[in-house]
Structure 1
Amino acid sequence: MGVGSEKCAITIYRTSPNSLEAITKDLCGKMQWYMRCMMLLSGAFFLLYFGLQPLTELFDENSPADQDLEVVLINTSQCHLVGRQSPPPITRTHENVVLLRCNKLQVLFTDTRSDGNYLMPSQIFEKLWCKYWLYTPQDWNMEKLLGEGQFNLLPNEHEGFKVGSGRQTVRVLCKSAANEVKYHDVLLFLPPPEPDLIPEPESGDKLSVLILGIDSLSHMVFLRNFPFINSLLDYLPHFKLTGYSRVGLGAYENIMALLSGRSIDELDPDWQNPEDESGEAKGPHFLWEKFKAAGYKTAYGEDTAQSFADRTERWRFAREFPEFNMHPIMLKMDRHTRYSIDIREMIHCTAGRAFGEVLRDFITSLVPHFKNRLFFSFFWESQGVEEYYEYSRTLDVAYLMLLKRLEEENILNKTLVLLVSGHGLRKGNYRMSYQGMQEESEPLLIAIYPEWLKAKYPRAITNLETNTKRLVTPYDLHKTLQDVLHLDRIKDSHLQKRMKKLESRTGKKVPRGISLFLPIPDARTCDMAGIPSLFCFCRDLTEVPTDDGLVVQCSRFLVKSINQMLKPYPKCEELKLHMVLLAYFVDFGEESFIYELKLRVKTMPGEGVFEGTVRITDKMYLTSPVNRISRYLSRSTCVKEPYIRTMCHCRD
């Protein structure tokens, strides 16, 4: 008989009918209460034990065997790479970051109506006195103050408060009668376009571009931690480009390569003098400048105020900032309303929303603006995922809902969506494993495209499919998006000519950046693709003893090279080699006479753990940037340069 049934079949002898009925009811009630408690406890145990892991994985008979399967990521004549389905055994973090939530109330929400913008109250338990400031976009970093005002909120109030109209940002500060801050937040009003301003749908075949970046996410971690999106992809035309490689240390270097087509070292000399005598800006243009010039709407957003774009001001990044720009909003949140919810203070909130949620709300609010317009948009989420292996699981459902919304609004039918990362996890216990070291250079790249693209440009899509197992870089993505801006370039007739031209080039004459609508050469190497030796996963590594004389000598050279870079910064301590943790011989092939070591060392003071590659000829020299894989947090705040900060241990 089911739980909660109104009857209970219990037989009791030697009692009167009345007492029998009373005892029966009493026992039934107790049994039902007991069974309900057991069900609740069982459910709680199930959730705590299994977390958010999908039930299909838990009860699939093939799951245990599948966990040890290898996935072929690259398969060419010059490179063969596989990834493991199961992660390496790693020490878990001290806190369950998957369960972390913002711990303050979301007192107000936004509501845009025909007559203006309203702040809508929610969860008001006492009288609050509120002050607000209204802003409107001005430039890349700043917003113009429009005005300020005050209002009161009463318990259980539901009436909205009008604060203005149009596109606005509002900062609200509410206090109690005891002058205690109860709510502090920054909110965005982004009304949909007026009906008479919505253009007619674009005629002809044109594609919008949506770049959804999730930092520190390798392809294999995506397969493990995003089961729902992986299931959705089965119903969408897409390709997983599993041979995608980073070309620089961090997200910044790889994003710049994607947006500009150049490395950081190549950008510096070109943009030292940003204008010529005629006042025209020199140097390479970012992709959204090119798309904007072609009539596309542009949008940009990150979930942090420490934007990668801030580091490009000396190259006049802000000369053509995107029309929908989230950066000033994040600056206000960081300055006024930010608080952290994790031990390492790497996951930030404003009121009841995580910064990542604010970013995704921003993307969702742009949907009405992009339904009937061509657009180029770039969004990047990094909080939590760049610090914790487990945290990316919390994003699976959020991005599933976002992609479903785009599909329902028919935006996916006219848009090339790139799910992309800059690199894999760079710090922590997971990164210390051999598997984690390999996956750091294997970032995520998935291209979702409209079904009609294959019918219209069959050769281009065939080439794109061929490239799923080829060696691919951000430079190739840059060239691909340039083709998206001019789709006539990928018509079969034009593509055949371009393919013949590419096939005629060999060796160093092969361009570094190749559109993914062209076939990436099977013989492509890391050197040809512009991938530094430290990030090249095509070369076999052979572990060698850490006490080998040459290994120790090269390790000392690596630390000496770090100190040379620190020399202009007197606030940084000189580092000393504490121990050699790992050493690998890099195999360039039987016909090569190159001797190169990939090293992992620990230095003092600070116990910094660094990786680098040292090549030995008649002398030693570094063939890659120095990569710090241990955390440093507040130990390097005495310097501002991001790369130097990873190596610097500040003097007391």
Structure 2
Amino acid sequence: MYFGSAISHSRFKWLGICFLTMFLIYCLTNQDMGLNTRNSIYKMHASSTGPSDSVRDHSENSTHRLDGSPKSSELPQQLYYVESPHCKMPYIDPFSKEVLAIYKPMAFETCTKESDLVTPIFDVNRKRYVLHIDEGVAAKILNSSEIEYNCYYQEITRSAEHDSYNDLPPRIYFSQGYVVPLHVEGMILGCSEAANDSNVLQTDAFGLIQYKPYPSAVPIRKTAPAQAAQRKPSVIMFGIDSISRINLRRTMPKVYKFLTRSGWYEMQGYNKVADNTFPNLMAILSGFTPDTVKEAICNTDEKGCFARIPFIWKFLKDAGYLTAYAEDTCNINTFNYVKPGFSLQPTDYYYRPLLRAFESEMKTWKCAKCTINYCIGRRIQSSYIYDYAKEFTRRYVDERPIWGLFWSSSFSHDDYAMPSKMADFVLQYLLDFETDGVFNESIVIFFSDHGSRFGKLMYLSSGFLEERLPMMFIYLPPWFRAQYPEFAEALTANRNRLTSNYDLHNTLKHIAEIAGLPNSAPLPKANDCPRCQSLFYPVNATRTCADAGIPEHYCTCKPYKRISVEWADRIAPRVIDRMNDYLWGKNLSSLCTNLTLSYIHKTEIQIGPEQKFHELQKMDVAVYRTKFKVQQNSADFFATVVYNNVTNNVDVDVEKISRTNSYAEDSTCINDKIAKLYCICIKDLKP
């Protein structure tokens, strides 16, 4: 009896040990599988650039639905845009709680519900524009098909003296099927009742891409495999002012989804090099800073200077490209805002004179929350630019290489949320370009100059990054990827590496070299960034902001820690002293009031790679960021400084200090584009 019980006890003990062993093996195995699965997903997310990769699409869109509403994250979240020994650029959740507390998507609005009465139609056989009158629309407006009416147009011509348009000439009347003369590149037209000229049926305006035959008898567009080496990619650049890669995901999720499709490459480590549009676009289009241009070439404040600068369109034109440049919001155009503009027409097709006439001669309208004209005549302002791009690409993309920059500020410059109003609108244009075959022949660059520089986003913890990290997407057509697979591989490698405007400039030069004459000399690279390169080559993974031509004030590679110690409050007043010295040195003290501190929003200290974030000690000399408000008109500023805690000395480049709220009504007494940021005019002082 005792022996049997012992055997039974031993058997139960053995079974228990086996069960426990199997349970431990099961747990460890599942833990291993879970870790491997998570690591696998994270690696796929971190290295994937192909838009067909469903894991990447899901992981990067996991914080929001297609309409922009937030949803819970289901995969490990990306921690950094760039992570290297010299650069840790933090990833920002576009739908964080602090953003959702202020962000409300806006609804799209149309400018008119009427159908077009007159439409210019391009006759591909005759290569001429023909004006078509929709008689049904006229009958509907007049409420009769018996009443007679007249239609007319006025040609728009460029005034070189003011980089604008000449006074409109007398009306030219036309009838159905009128063939527009080749010299007419823009028109304002209308139709009115014949017996009562004041009864205007409809007015409209159009920019025309009149056909320019290629000067050579041999067509330049080659598509046969044997001629592939001669094939030249078109380059189409779509720019939208003041949109960070973060805000693109937030306000235009459908557009972002389109930009993650096959052939698109996002440069997530793209960091701006200057404060506002002019210097950032100068870096892309010329490879120069404005200061260097002034020293080495000419003063951009003087008429005729821009004609002497080696802009990228000149190199591309030499390589056989037809060129176009169009920009909306004329009063803040990149080369015209407190600048003289172009004395000579810069590109083959140039839109400014046309839109200047449209703005001046037609009725304009602002939506409820708009500060910039939303409608000009019957159309949304930005549609003039995008329609011009459509006409340009339709005319030539299948025939010859073209380059065009189409820049819009009207719906993004003054309000970070406004792009949400235009998301479907912009997406439709991208789909139209796809239908027209633009993506079959063209390298397409969808980009911005910087993020929001003032407004509500600047008061969030992510404001510093929102401002400095503009969106940058590059598309390569299938044939180009097949012909130059190493370029596609380089863009993939560069996705999460530090890049800048100067790299994009060198990439455009690289394309011009590919398209240029055989055995021609290499083109000069970006003048103000000797270590910058084409994005078609892998960027060094250990790159620094200095390597990429990014000044310290705009660099997002080094983390900062907020400090709340008494001695930190000494920094902002010293910065204000430097700002007052700057205005005095510019002889503006009689126009601009002396600035005084109102309060300090925050002060942060830079954490170097050798320092421990949580064990930071007081240092004699360190780099700081301070955000503060002055008493005069409640102006807000953000500065990066080197501060000596022993001598109380501040080293700061005043012209790199950011103004983080609008200054449009504060500095009307001066025209100096940089000083306007810091000048509060005595006559503009608010009580």
Distance (whole Å) between structure 2 residues aligned to residue 60 and residue 304 of structure 1: 27
Give the corresponding residue for 2:632. Answer: 605
1:630 aligns with 2:630: no
Distance (whole Å) between structure 2 residues aligned to residue 544 and residue 56 of structure 1: 33
Distance (whole Å) between structure 2 residues aligned to residue 59 and residue 381 of structure 1: 23
Give the corresponding residue for 1:11. Answer: none
1:390 offset after TM fit, Å? 2.2
Distance (whole Å) between structure 1 residues aligned to residue 171 and residue 68 of structure 2: 59
1:281 offset after TM fit, Å? 9.8
Distance (whole Å) between structure 2 residues aligned to residue 223 and residue 448 of structure 1: 18
Contact 2:452 2:466 in 1 (8 A): yes
- 1:423–1:59 Cα change, 3 Å: closer
Distance (whole Å) between structure 2 residues aligned to residue 273 and residue 611 of structure 1: 28
Deviation by residue 1:221-266 (Cα, 9 ceiling, x = unmatched): 2223333333334442121110000000012211110001111211
1:400-549 matches, cutoff 5 A = 400-487=427-514, 511-545=530-564, 548-549=566-567
Give the corresponding residue for 1:32. Answer: none
Q: Quick one: which of 332, 347, 364 aligns to 2:357?
A: 332
Structure 1 runs not aligned, ≥5 long: 1-52, 153-158, 503-508
1:104 offset after TM fit, Å? 8.5
Identity across matched positions, percent: 21
Contact 1:117 1:165 in 2 (8 A): no
Give the corresponding residue for 1:24. Answer: none
Distance (whole Å) between structure 1 residues aligned to residue 62 and residue 92 of structure 2: 22
1:295 aligns with 2:320: yes
Give the corresponding residue for 1:263. Answer: 289
Out of 553-562 and 101-110, give the one that drifted further. 101-110
Distance (whole Å) between structure 2 residues aligned to residue 92 and residue 636 of structure 1: 32
1:302 offset after TM fit, Å? 0.9
- TM-score normalised according to structure 2 size: 0.74
Q: Quick one: which of 136, 159, 171 aligns to 2:188?
A: 171
Distance (whole Å) between structure 2 residues aligned to residue 576 and residue 106 of structure 1: 56
- 1:207–1:335 Cα change, 3 Å: same
- 1:461–1:445 Cα change, 3 Å: same
- 1:90–1:516 Cα change, 3 Å: closer
1:312 offset after TM fit, Å? 9.1
Q: Quick one: which of 101, 107, 114 aligns to 1:98?
A: 107
Deviation by residue 1:19-50 (Cα, 9 ceiling, x = unmatched): xxxxxxxxxxxxxxxxxxxxxxxxxxxxxxxx
Amino acid at match of 1:118: L
Deviation by residue 1:60-97 (Cα, 9 ceiling, x = unmatched): 99932359944531122211222214245358889974
Distance (whole Å) between structure 1 residues aligned to residue 214 and residue 554 of structure 2: 50
SS in 1 for 2:386: helix
1:605 offset after TM fit, Å? 1.7
Contact 2:285 2:505 in 1 (8 A): yes
- 1:178–1:366 Cα change, 3 Å: closer
Q: Quick one: which of 243, 252, 272 aligns to 1:246?
A: 272
Amino acid at match of 2:185: Q
Give the corresponding residue for 2:207. Answer: 188
Give the corresponding residue for 1:47. Answer: none
Distance (whole Å) between structure 2 residues aligned to residue 488 and residue 297 of structure 1: 13
Give the corresponding residue for 2:248. Answer: 222
- 1:447–1:330 Cα change, 3 Å: same
- 1:239–1:160 Cα change, 3 Å: same
Amino acid at match of 2:251: N
Distance (whole Å) between structure 2 residues aligned to residue 102 and residue 70 of structure 1: 41
Distance (whole Å) between structure 1 residues aligned to residue 664 and residue 203 of structure 2: 27
- 1:565–1:273 Cα change, 3 Å: closer
Out of 357-366 and 457-466, give the one that drifted further. 457-466
Give the corresponding residue for 1:559. Answer: 576
Amino acid at match of 2:376: T
Contact 1:117 1:163 in 2 (8 A): yes
Contact 1:100 1:342 in 2 (8 A): no
Q: Quick one: which of 577, 594, 597 aligns to 1:577?
A: 597
1:396 aligns with 2:396: no
Deviation by residue 1:317-352 (Cα, 9 ceiling, x = unmatched): 554611111111121123222332244522431122
1:58 offset after TM fit, Å? 7.4
Give the corresponding residue for 1:111. Answer: 120
SS in 2 for 1:610: strand
Q: Quick one: which of 163, 166, 173 aligns to 1:141?
A: 163
Distance (whole Å) between structure 2 residues aligned to residue 62 and residue 651 of structure 1: 46
Amino acid at match of 1:540: P
Give the corresponding residue for 1:595. Answer: 622
Give the corresponding residue for 1:366. Answer: 392
Distance (whole Å) between structure 2 residues aligned to residue 83 and residue 59 of structure 1: 19
Structure 2 runs not aligned, ≥5 long: 1-60, 612-618
For the aligned residues, what is the CA RMSD?
A: 4.0
SS in 2 for 1:611: strand
SS in 2 for 1:642: coil
Give the corresponding residue for 2:84. Answer: 76
1:621 aligns with 2:615: no
Out of 139-148 and 234-243, give the one that drifted further. 139-148
- 1:267–1:590 Cα change, 3 Å: same
User: How many pairs does the alignment contain?
Assistant: 573
Distance (whole Å) between structure 2 residues aligned to residue 343 and residue 70 of structure 1: 34
Amino acid at match of 2:131: Y
- 1:120–1:622 Cα change, 3 Å: farther
Distance (whole Å) between structure 2 residues aligned to residue 609 and residue 322 of structure 1: 39
Amino acid at match of 1:403: L
Contact 2:141 2:201 in 1 (8 A): no
